[in-house]
């Protein structure tokens, strides 16, 4: 297996994910410069009257968790180009394509 240092990484700077419960669960991506800013933005979303998008009659909104999105490695796995958060045996390093993926 190649060394981790052989792989290009998408560090996903300023990307966080917030998970809300709205009589179910709703996941959104948040761009922020820090985890604290991401948490503040997530809390502000709960106060937005349009939060929940097209969900009708939202009675209860709870912020469950905000976390940093994982680093993604550019790999070729089983002949397919992809980004993965965990390297497996047999993964090969690759360069980004024309779209940066």
pTM assigned to the model = 0.57
CA distance 18 to 42: 6
Say whether pLDDT at 56 is over 60: no
- Token pair 């009675």 in the structure block, residue: 59
pLDDT, residue 94, reads 94
Closest to 64 in 3D by CA, of 51, 46, 79 = 46
Return mean pLDDT, the chain: 86
Structural domain span for residue 42: 4-93
Q: Does residue 41 lie within any of the structural domains?
A: yes
Q: Does residue 84 lie within any of the structural domains?
A: yes
Q: Does residue 15 lie within any of the structural domains?
A: yes
Q: Does residue 99 lie within any of the structural domains?
A: no
**What are 39's two structure tokens?**
């948490």
Closest to 69 in 3D by CA, of 26, 21, 2, 18 = 18
CA distance 18 to 3: 32
Lowest mean pLDDT among 22-31, 46-55, 92-101: 46-55
Helix or strand (DSSP H, E) at 5 = none
Per residue in 30-44, pLDDT tens?
999 999 999 999 989
The number of domains in the chain is 1
**Confidence bin at 58 (pLDDT 50/70/90):** low
Q: Does residue 100 lie within any of the structural domains?
A: no
Q: Does residue 98 lie within any of the structural domains?
A: no
pLDDT, residue 53, reads 58
Q: Does residue 47 lie within any of the structural domains?
A: yes
């Amino acid at each position: 297996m190649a060394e981790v240092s052989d792989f290009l990484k998408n560090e996903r700077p300023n990307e966080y994910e917030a998970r809300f419960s709205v009589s179910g669960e709703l996941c959104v991506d948040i761009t922020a410069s820090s985890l604290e800013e991401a948490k503040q933005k997530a809390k502000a979303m709960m106060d937005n009257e349009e939060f929940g998008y097209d969900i009708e009659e939202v009675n209860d909104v709870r912020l469950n968790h905000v976390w940093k999105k994982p680093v993604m490695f550019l790999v070729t796995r089983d002949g397919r180009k992809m980004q993965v958060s965990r390297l497996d045996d047999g993964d090969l390093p690759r360069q980004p394509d024309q779209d940066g993926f």
